[in-house]
A and B are shown apart, each in its own frame.
Chain A
Amino acid sequence: MSVTQDIRTPLGEFWRRFRRQRVALIAGGLILAIILAAIFAPWVAPFEPATPDYDSLLDGPTALHWLGTDAYGRDVLSRIIWGGRVSLMVGFLSVALGAVAGIIIGLVSGFFGGWIDGVLMRLMDVLLAFPGIILAIGVVALLGPGIDNVIYAIAVFSVPVFARLVRGNTLALKQTLYVQAARSIGVKAPLLMLRHILPGAMPGVIVYASLRLGTSILTAASLSFIGLGARPPSPEWGAMLADGRSYLGVADHLTLFPGFAIFVIVLAFNLFGDGLRDALDQKLR
């Protein structure tokens, strides 16, 4: 045994365990591939995503248009590649926003306790009392449709769950010896929360966030379905799927491919998240 293998950093330890989750690794690779395709969309996509061609409307898959064309003669494959940017952005930004807000609320609530905790948690209960999609409908109705508002809408209903998760962790970590010790030598509260408690809560947050990414993308699709989603001509996958449903029976490829894209990315995030949890969760080992 070499020396390096004996030194086990937490990250190294995590990687050693995560490596064994083969399905999650594949899912992670898939996610990475989709992200890269989205980033390099201008080079990867064979056509411009918004350029119409009124002479080839609703064509099925051909050698030229691999996944066919839509009602305006736009190339479906190119739109899915470009749409990955939008759908992934919705997923990542909404979860990030929701997580940051949730973390702050959870930390403050758990750390200070008392009436602050009471008020904040009641507030979270109120938010939780609204089923997610209703909250999202409300936010979009309030701010108007459009992809940025969809992001806020989805972020809002992620907040309470992150807040509860972090609060729980904070309550537990507050009692640990090293936090008590740090406290006794007069470390200030913000520093204490950021340096000593937050890292302990992060694994849970990361696992939850990766699972939440899929939910966010699905919710964006549902919002598109009820007409409150991305604005045309955005190639957001949910919007493509919702648009394509008008042509079920005439041009099934318009729902099949975006639907499949959503299914694959959500599945990948879920599998990846599951793998993360198994790797991070000590009890399940």
Chain B
Amino acid sequence: MLAYLIRRLAGTIPVLLAVSIFVFGFVHALPGDPARLEAGPEASPADIQAIRVDMGLDGPIWQQYLRWADNTLHGKLGRSTKTRQPVAQVIGERFMPTLWLTVVAMLWSTLVGIGIGVLSGIRRGRWQDKAGMVLAISGVSFPGFWMGLLLIDLFSVRLGWLPTGGYGTWQHFVMPAFTLGVGVAAVMARFTRSAFVEVSGEDYVRTARMKGVSEPVVAWKHTLRNALIPVITLTGLQFGFLLGGAIVIETVFSWPGLGRLLVDSVSFRDYPVIQAEIMLFSLEFVLINVLVDLLYAVANPEIRLK
């Protein structure tokens, strides 16, 4: 098991290396001159050149990359060119709000999604199944920002039940987490249903049924447990998706998170922040994948041997 873990972790290194080159190249290919922006509209050309040197944007590009990679490996992420705040701090301040929002959204949507999926699977072909699937498909078909704006209008302005946005108490979480999770719940429901249906066709389930095991026990013990294995994978994938996908939701609900930060920093050409943030996203995603594979390997020993 440990060997597998090490092998799997080692495999992420080339991916991260490739991502870093990719990110660096991408950021530097963006049209726009960060020194020019940083200097502000009233600066002289000499000021701008001084700032360019200050930002480490002089010299050939490969030199800049090596300098950046070296600094990054030593934990020196530099300063935001926009606010002059250390990058670690800029990202640190926004990491927890995004993480919590993601976790809360993930929790409710996974529970509800699996619930609907199982119900639809058990009641396959009946009205519960149809209602569940219509609900799920409607969920993925809704433009998120529209739903968010409608919710604010209803619950904050008209009813005054919930705050419009911002980060603080549990009330702040309700609408953003709901909006963010709807799509995931829908995907989970559809996926769980088909996994469930697939497993119920397997021989061991049929055998159990023929042996006279009661229907709820069949559903729980034999079907659900096996159906959940692929669901784990999907959960992992969706988690990574949510971490980055909160951009729109964060804007609607004024959530001080990483998504909004990314849009702002791309628009401002805040190179150090963009680079660090995308590296962080990639790292998260890669690690989640490793974790998922691990869970998978625990569930299914055959994989470890491959």
A–B direct contact (CB < 8 Å): yes
- Report which A residues bind B (CB closer than 8 A): 122-123, 125-126, 128-134, 137-138, 141-142, 144, 214-215, 218, 221-222, 225-226, 238, 241-242, 245, 248-249, 255, 259, 262-263, 266-267, 270-271, 274, 283-284
Contact for B266 among A125, A137, A283, CB less than 8 A: A137
| B127, CB-defined interface residue at 8 Å | no
A283 to B200, CA, bound (A): 11
| B244, CB-defined interface residue at 8 Å | yes
Contact for A128 among B141, B267, B285, CB less than 8 A: B285
Secondary structure call for the B interface: helix
| B263, CB-defined interface residue at 8 Å | yes
> Do B18 and A134 touch across chains, with their CB atoms under 8 A apart?
no
A283 to B194, CA, bound (A): 10
- What are 12 A-B pairs at a CB distance below 8 A? A126-B22, A130-B281, A130-B285, A142-B29, A144-B31, A222-B143, A248-B149, A255-B149, A263-B138, A267-B138, A270-B140, A284-B198
In angstroms, how far is the closest chain B Cβ from the Cβ of A198?
A: 25
- Which residues of chain B have C-beta atoms less than 8 A from A123's C-beta? 18
- Which residues of chain A have C-beta atoms less than 8 A from B141's C-beta? 214, 218, 262-263, 266-267, 270
Q: Given that A122-B15, A126-B15 are contacting pairs, would A134 and B281 also be in contact in the complex, using a CB cutoff of 8 Å? A: yes
For A237, give the chain B residue with the smallest CB separation.
B143
Q: Contacting chain A: which of B42-50, B70-78, B245-253?
A: B245-253
- Which residues of chain B have C-beta atoms less than 8 A from A226's C-beta? 247-248, 251, 263
A129 to B140, CA, bound (A): 22
Secondary structure call for the A interface: helix
For B252, give the chain A residue with the smallest CB separation.
A225
A283 to B143, CA, bound (A): 32
| B201, CB-defined interface residue at 8 Å | yes
Chain B 185-225 near chain A by CB (<8 Å), digits 1 or 0: 00000100010011001000000000000000000000000
| B128, CB-defined interface residue at 8 Å | no
> Do B198 and A129 touch across chains, with their CB atoms under 8 A apart?
no
Contact for B241 among A131, A142, A214, A283, CB less than 8 A: A131
A242 to B252, CA, bound (A): 12
A245 to B201, CA, bound (A): 48
Q: Which of B134-183 contact A (CB under 8 A)?
A: 137-138, 140-146, 149, 153, 157
- Which residues of chain A have C-beta atoms less than 8 A from B233's C-beta? none
A240 to B216, CA, bound (A): 49
In angstroms, how far is the closest chain A Cβ from the Cβ of B74?
A: 23
> Do A225 and B251 touch across chains, with their CB atoms under 8 A apart?
yes
| B35, CB-defined interface residue at 8 Å | no
Q: Given that A131-B243, A248-B153 are contacting pairs, would A267 and B26 also be in contact in the complex, using a CB cutoff of 8 Å? A: no
- Which residues of chain B have C-beta atoms less than 8 A from A283's C-beta? 198, 201
- Which residues of chain A have C-beta atoms less than 8 A from B243's C-beta? 131
Q: Given that A144-B31, A226-B248 are contacting pairs, would A129 and B285 also be in contact in the complex, using a CB cutoff of 8 Å? A: yes
- Which residues of chain B have C-beta atoms less than 8 A from A133's C-beta? 244-245, 247-248
A174 to B239, CA, bound (A): 33
| B19, CB-defined interface residue at 8 Å | yes
Q: Given that A123-B18, A132-B241 are contacting pairs, would A259 and B286 also be in contact in the complex, using a CB cutoff of 8 Å? A: no
> Do B145 and A122 touch across chains, with their CB atoms under 8 A apart?
no
> Do B240 and A131 touch across chains, with their CB atoms under 8 A apart?
yes
> Do A249 and B143 touch across chains, with their CB atoms under 8 A apart?
no
| B14, CB-defined interface residue at 8 Å | yes
In angstroms, how far is the closest chain B Cβ from the Cβ of A246?
A: 10
> Do B263 and A137 touch across chains, with their CB atoms under 8 A apart?
yes
> Do B201 and A274 touch across chains, with their CB atoms under 8 A apart?
no
Closest 9 CB pairs of A and B: A131-B244, A266-B141, A267-B141, A129-B282, A259-B146, A129-B285, A225-B145, A270-B137, A221-B143
